[in-house]
Structure 1
Amino acid sequence: MSRLTTLKPRLGTQGGRVAVMQPGSWRTDKQTAAQRGYDHKWRKARERHLADHPLCIYCQRQGLVTAANVVDHIVPHRGDMSLFWDQSNWQSLCGPCHSSAKQREEQAGLV
């Protein structure tokens, strides 16, 4: 009979950091994505934006052609619905760019 071995964890840590919602954040009183504005109306607007702007702009800056799947708010709206719906504040990004480069920019205070 063979012994089962324990698999190593597949998930890594981000430098030991854990994402914690800060007290007073605009998100603390809105539990669901729909309550934060990401509802049916947003999904339809997102589809239209991605149809009109199908490529990741961060990848394009590096000479790459990558399909976008995220509509990102250039300036974080932080619950400001007029900024949320301002289409001039939207950009198309691929998932990896949204999760890495854009997050680094926000944490560094560049946006």
Structure 2
Amino acid sequence: MPRRALHPCQHPGCPNICEGRYCDAHKVMHPNNDRKSSAERGYGSKWQKARKRFLDRPENFFCLECKKEGVFTRATVVDHITPHRGDPALFWDESNWQPLCKKHHDSKTWTEDKNPTYKY
């Protein structure tokens, strides 16, 4: 069976040619190559409908963190207060949801992913 053609490494500025997405030098910098699609992680059409219903409620119209700062920014993201980490019960528990703007959601998520809390 013929092999796939080689192509440039997808790391910005890397001139190396490789078989996968990244050359051997950059594979360690991009560990999430096997990440599932958003639909496979539970964010399919059912989530999109629930998200829209949640954000259309008057009490969820503005970002909670922006309101604390005295600014009224439209919430565009439904954030899981406690990360669900694949737990469907926690994923669909609306008491675990909060409306945030993209800026505050990304900041919160980055902090949580960088410093995960594990319970044993």
TM-score, normalised to structure 1, is: 0.68
Residue 66 (str. 1) matches residue 73 (str. 2): yes
Alpha-carbon distance in 2 for matches of 1:78, 1:38: 13
Alpha-carbon distance in 1 for matches of 2:48, 2:110: 25
Residue 85 (str. 1) matches residue 92 (str. 2): yes
- Deviation digits for residues 54-111 of structure 1, max 9, x if unmatched? 10001011111000100000000000010000000000000111112x135413458x
Asked which structure has the greater CA Rg, the reply is 2
Residue 56 (str. 1) matches residue 37 (str. 2): no
Aligned to 1:103: 109
Equivalent position to 2:50, from 45, 52, 59: 45
| Poorly superposed stretches of 4+, deviation over 6 Å | none
Aligned to 1:14: none
Structure 1, unmatched stretches of 5+, are 1-17, 22-27
Report the 3-state secondary structure (helix = DSSP H, G, I; strand = E; otherwise coil) of the residue aligned with 2:79: strand
Percent identity of the aligned residues? 47
Instruction: Mark the CA change 1:96 to 1:19 in structure 2 (over 3 Å): closer, same or farther.
Output: farther
Q: Which has the higher contact order (CA 8 A, sep 6+)?
A: 1
Alpha-carbon distance in 2 for matches of 1:105, 1:81: 22
Alpha-carbon distance in 2 for matches of 1:63, 1:19: 38
Report the 3-state secondary structure (helix = DSSP H, G, I; strand = E; otherwise coil) of the residue aligned with 1:99: helix
Alpha-carbon distance in 2 for matches of 1:97, 1:70: 9
RMSD: 2.3
User: What count of residue pairs does the alignment treat as equivalent?
Assistant: 87
Structure 2, unmatched stretches of 5+, are 1-28
Match of 1:86, as an amino acid? D
Report the 3-state secondary structure (helix = DSSP H, G, I; strand = E; otherwise coil) of the residue aligned with 2:109: helix
